[in-house]
Amino acid sequence: MKRISVLGSTGSIGTQTLDVARIHKDVQVAALAVHNSIELLETQTREFMPRLVCVYDKDAAEDFKLRVRDLPVTVVSGMEGLIECALLEEIDLVVSAVVGMIGIKPVIEAIRAGKDIAFANKETLVSAGHLIMPLVKEKKVNFLPVDSEHSAIFQSLVGGGEVEKLILTASGGPFRGKKQSELTHVSVADALKHPNWSMGRKITIDSATMVNKGLEVMEASWLFGIPADRIEVVIHPQSIVHSAVEFVDGAVIAQLGIPDMKLPIQYALFYPERRKMQNGRLSLTEQKNLTFEKPVLSELPGLSLAYEAIQAGGSMPVVYNAANEYAVAEFLDNKISFTAIAARIADAMRAHRVIDRPSLSEILETEAWVREYLAVHKIGGLE
Ligand code: MG
């Protein structure tokens, strides 16, 4: 029996994790955690009967307690509650599928307690990779990527061998090939129309700005111990080649498949075992053409700023990520234009003094500083 805790159970990865868990009778869902989507959480709780549930929002947690008072479930809230879900004694594996830096503390605590991690929260690794990866090594836990590109690289590395570079594919999102000047007036609805993947709102906007790929370069660098200058981003609009590894002898090994997150989720849950899956199958003969292009960095500030943040190092990736989280929320609230997202990130990065190897409290302080800074400085391309 595999006992899991799902942090972020009502999000896109969370619901698909439960879809996978539903099919495999040897998976037991012991804990669920959400921000405030208590309606769907109630349905999940009644189906999976976890022992512990966290509703991060304290008021929503009180409402939720009333909804499930007929069930033998303990309801907790806040950061302590989230950490409690990550530390539950009987669980083997924590699925970290919350959105944003909020995942840092629970992931660190879970690794300290020797839990395996199925990891779908790149913002955490971007901000605290230098704290998390040494801990993964020390505690000898499995740290299994769920992000489709990183799962593809992970799968391609199974055979071993010395790596020359990682090839990270990107669909290019809904605005592929467009110039920045054409994107000033795009709507939230336009930016949420991803051509291939169905995902949560934040990551879909990140795909449209290519910030997602910037975060993924940082994520891959931490996960696989490869410097960013040996990670090549390639635009591949069909999203069939999910990423690849080039080895020192020139062999390129890739993982291909239809775009479906259930595959990397299931692979992480049962690694190293592969299980039968009732999904759609890739037919190579039905692929009219698979194309690959170099990204034009001058038209992709979301991605080029990521390279600047990597170059600056220390706390700068924290700023890149935190400013993006802030600006994407503003864009989704119709407060700023689409192109202002990158302008906001650039503005915060310019104002930041880098801290080398920031501690956890320095990371959280830096994030708080970014929020204060952007709340006051309403400049940088705002419409
Ligand atoms: Mg991805």
- For residue 135, pLDDT over 80 is answered with yes
- CA 360 to centroid of ligand 1, rounded, Å: 25
- CA 380 to centroid of ligand 1, rounded, Å: 28
Average pLDDT value for residue range 325-344? 95
Structure tokens that stand for 368 in this block = 């708080």
- CA 106 to centroid of ligand 1, rounded, Å: 22
Average pLDDT value for residue range 138-153? 97
- For residue 8, pLDDT over 60 is answered with yes
User: Is 309:320 a contact under the CB 8 Å cutoff?
Assistant: yes
Average pLDDT value for residue range 291-315? 96
- CA 65 to centroid of ligand 1, rounded, Å: 35
Amino acid at the residue 38: I
Average pLDDT value for residue range 209-226? 97
The mean pLDDT of the chain is 95
pTM value > 0.85: yes
Give the pLDDT score at 148: 96
- For residue 381, pLDDT over 90 is answered with no
Question: If we measure between CA atoms, which residue out of 107, 157, 158 comes closest to residue 135?
Answer: 107
The per-residue pLDDT for range 167-181, each reduced to its tens digit, is 999 999 999 999 999
Which pLDDT band, with edges at 50, 70 and 90, does 99 fall under?
confident
- CA 216 to centroid of ligand 1, rounded, Å: 7
The per-residue pLDDT for range 307-331, each reduced to its tens digit, is 999 999 999 999 999 999 999 999 9
- CA 149 to centroid of ligand 1, rounded, Å: 5
- CA 174 to centroid of ligand 1, rounded, Å: 15
Give the pLDDT score at 383: 45
Give the pLDDT score at 379: 63
Classify strands 93-96 and 2-7 as parallel, antiparallel or unpaired.
parallel
- CA 319 to centroid of ligand 1, rounded, Å: 20
- For residue 152, pLDDT over 50 is answered with yes
Give the pLDDT score at 94: 98
Distance CA 77, CA 197 (A): 31
- CA 242 to centroid of ligand 1, rounded, Å: 9
- CA 147 to centroid of ligand 1, rounded, Å: 5
- For residue 380, pLDDT over 50 is answered with no
Give the pLDDT score at 337: 94
Average pLDDT value for residue range 45-68? 98
Going by C-beta distance under 8 Å and a sequence separation of 6 or more, which residues neighbour residue 128? 104, 108, 360, 363
User: Is 122:216 a contact under the CB 8 Å cutoff?
Assistant: yes
- CA 234 to centroid of ligand 1, rounded, Å: 13
CB-side exposure of 327: number of CA atoms within 13 Å? 33
The per-residue pLDDT for range 18-56, each reduced to its tens digit, is 999 999 999 999 999 999 999 999 999 999 999 999 999
Average pLDDT value for residue range 270-296? 93
> Hey, is 71 helix, strand or coil?
coil
Question: What is the DSSP code string of 151-214?
Answer: HHHHHHTTT---EEEEEEEE---TTTT--GGGSTT--HHHHT--SS----HHHHHHHHHTHHHH
